[in-house]
Amino acid sequence: MAKIRTFLALVFIAITTLLLVPLQLISMKIGLWRETVILRIWHKAVLKTLGIRVHVTGSLSTERPLLVAANHVSWTDIAVLGSMSDVRFIAKADMAGWPLIGFLSKLQRTVFIERERKRKSGDQASEIAGRLANGDAMVLFAEGTTGDGNMVLPFKSTLFGAAAMAISGGGADEVFVQPVAIAYTRLHGLPLGRRHRSHAAWIGDQDLVPHVKDLLAEGALDVEVHFGEPVAFSSASNRKQAARTMEEQVNIMLQQALRSPRASRPSVAARSKA
């Protein structure tokens, strides 16, 4: 049964991608409609294929320029956030070369960064600053890597420099930074405990293809997304302090999401099967 589900899911997402990619290319070329319209449809299709249900508390801020500081659990975080909000992403440079994923990321106008090459950090922060100044809401997975979904790793302060650049070079008086927590909470309607939350996590050097296959075969994941209140970042702000503040806020919301009634109680369907 799992093999049949995986096969059908792959066929569905392949057909969806083949249909939507040309439309996205047209949108990027001549701008008949907002580029994010097609992207949101594609992200929703991915979530449907994987069986991921999204529960949202709060919403993306309307303030601009806006930098979204989120925790990072899995590659599925991109589909989760992209399905509900008009956002762009900041990703590691090596993702640009991944088969298919790199191409799809470019269709989203993702900014690729090389954290190891300090000489390029200024140019990369400048590009992010330009996007912020132009009104794009940029998502920064501020831990710099993926975690196990149980706690927030320390936020890196380096790329918060993009907020300062948007002020100094982009003409903005301030940039708003909004904390967002992503929590994978249930599998087949049953609460995911601390030990089993790694089912959803894609950690470190774990191969992508086996993880995709596992999610396709299993399905039925619930994820909580909590949007916090944006904080104004001005020329007088300290990026290290901003990183600490965002880390604390995201961690508070993550723990709230993991303890929420939706996370801790089995669904009606799950109880009826028990």
Contacts with 88 (C-beta within 8 Å, 6 or more apart), sequence order: 108, 109, 110, 111, 131, 136, 137, 138, 139
Helices (H), the chain: 2-30, 35-50, 76-82, 101-107, 118-133, 161-168, 208-218, 239-259, 261-264, 268-273
Q: Residues 231-241: pLDDT tens digits?
A: 999 888 888 99
Q: Residues 4-61: pLDDT tens digits?
A: 878 888 899 899 999 999 999 998 888 888 888 999 999 999 999 999 999 999 999 9
pLDDT band for position 253 (cuts 50, 70, 90): very high
Q: Residues 182-217: pLDDT tens digits?
A: 999 999 888 988 877 877 888 766 777 788 888 887
C-beta separation of 242 from 163 below 8 A? yes
What ranges do the domains of the chain cover? 52-273
Q: Which residue has the tokens 């109680």?
A: 265
- Give me the mean pLDDT over the 91-119 stretch: 77
Q: What per-residue confidence (pLDDT) applies to 166? A: 75
pLDDT band for position 274 (cuts 50, 70, 90): very low
